[in-house]
Amino acid sequence: MVDIQGNINILSYGSGFTLAILFVLLAMFGWLSVKYRNIREFQFQIFVFIIIYIIGEILENYKIPSLSVPLPYLGPQIHIMAAAFLALILWLRLYHVRSSGRKTIDKLESITDGDVKDASK
């Protein structure tokens, strides 16, 4: 028999733990973005993504009465906006790399026995 009450107790701490991890990530990428001070850097773009995601997480997990009654699905919609923003960041970065003529590593090449002989030096 499965103890449902014990599982619910563990799951109730999951949202708080996720929020704590997000704040740690926000601090790390915030520090990196302040250090490099460039909007075009990946660290700053991820910092903005994490801010948007945290706002959605707070609105979804901690039902704010003034916002949850007129807009019940605002948190999940902000999560979707954050995912779209991340996809846009990654797509624009890939497009910029491809249009500038630089190569990306997008295929895996097999290693044969002849390729490994010089690896031990």
What mean pLDDT comes out for the span 22-33?
84
CB 89 within 8 A of CB 64: no
Task: Tell me the C-alpha distance between 69 and 66, whole Å.
Answer: 6
- Is pLDDT at 12 greater than 70 in this prediction? no
| Domain edges within the chain | 4-100
| Residue recorded with tokens 């009654």 | 69
- Is pLDDT at 82 greater than 70 in this prediction? yes
pTM for this one?
0.63
- Is pLDDT at 25 greater than 70 in this prediction? yes
What mean pLDDT comes out for the span 10-33?
78
Mean confidence (pLDDT) of the chain = 77
Q: How many CB atoms lie under 10 A from the CB of residue 23?
A: 14
Q: What pLDDT was estimated at residue 83? A: 94
